[in-house]
Amino acid sequence: MFEKKSSMRTTYGKELVNLGKKYDDLVVLDADLAKSTKTELFKNQFPERFFDMGISEADMVVTAAGLASVGFKPFCSSFAIFLTGRVYDQIRNSIAYPHWNVKLVSTHAGISVGEDGASHQMLEDIALTRVIPDMTILSPSDSTMVKNLMEKIYNYDSYLYMRLSRNDVYDIYEEGTEFNIGESFIHGIGKDITIIATGQMVSKALEAEKTLKKEGIACGVVDMYTIKPLDTKTIDKILNISKGILVCEEHSYIGGLFGAISEYVVRNNPVIVDFVALNDTFGESGKVEELFEKYGLDKDTIIKKGKSVYDRI
Partner 1 sequence: MDVQNLVNISKNARIDILKMVYNASSGHIGGAFSAIDIMVYLYFYKMNYSLENFENNERDRFILSKGHASAALYTCLAYKGIIKENDLITFRKINSKLQGHPSRKLTKGVETSTGSLGQGLSFANGVALGLKLKKINSKVYVLIGDGEINEGQIWEALMTSIRYKLDNLRIILDYNHLQIDGFIENIKDPRPTKEKFESFGFATFVMDGHDFYDIDKTFKFADQVKEKPVFIIANTIKGKGVSFMENNVDFHGSPPTKEQFEKALLELTNV
* Chain residues in the site for partner 1 (CB under 8 A): 27, 48-49, 51, 53-54, 56, 58-60, 62-72, 89-90, 93-94, 97-100
* Amino acid in the structure at residue 197: A
Please identify, using beta-carbon distances, which residue of 70 and 214 lies nearer to partner 1. Answer: 70
CB of 19 to partner 1, least distance (A): 17
What's the CA gap between 192 and 46, in Å, rounded? Answer: 52
β-pairing, 226-228 with 136-138? antiparallel
Tell me the Ramachandran region of residue 10: left when phi exceeds 0, alpha when psi lies from -120 to 50, beta otherwise. Answer: alpha
Between 89 and 280, CB nearer to partner 1 = 89
**Closest to partner 1 by CB, 46 or 156:** 46
Q: Which position among 15, 40, 57, 250 bears the catalytic label?
A: 57
How many other C-beta atoms can be found within 10 angstroms of the C-beta atom of residue 20?
21
The helix, strand and coil proportions of the chain, stated in percent and rounded to the nearest 5, come to 45, 20, 35
Minimum distance from CB of 99 to partner 1 (Å)? 6
Give the integer Cα–Cα distance in Å for 79 and 165: 9
The whole-angstrom separation of Cα 73 and Cα 152 is 13
Question: Are the C-beta atoms of residues 119 and 81 closer than 8 Å to each other?
Answer: yes
C-beta of 92 vs 213, nearer to partner 1: 92
Minimum distance from CB of 73 to partner 1 (Å)? 11
Between 99 and 187, CB nearer to partner 1: 99
Nearest Cα to Cα of residue 234 among 183, 197, 191, 177: 183
Query: Which residues are CB-contacts of 163 (< 8 A; sequence separation ≥ 6)?
Result: 80, 106, 109, 110, 122, 125, 126, 137, 138, 139, 199
Measured from the CB atom, is 94 or 198 closer to partner 1? 94
* Shortest Å distance, C-beta 61 to partner 1: 8
Cα Rg of the chain, angstroms: 19
CB of 151 to partner 1, least distance (A): 22
Task: List the one residue out of 169, 183, 269 whose CA is nearest residue 227.
Answer: 183
Q: Is 263 a catalytic residue?
A: no
The distance of closest approach from Cβ of residue 48 to partner 1 in the complex, given in angstroms and rounded to an integer, is 7
Catalytic residue annotation: 57
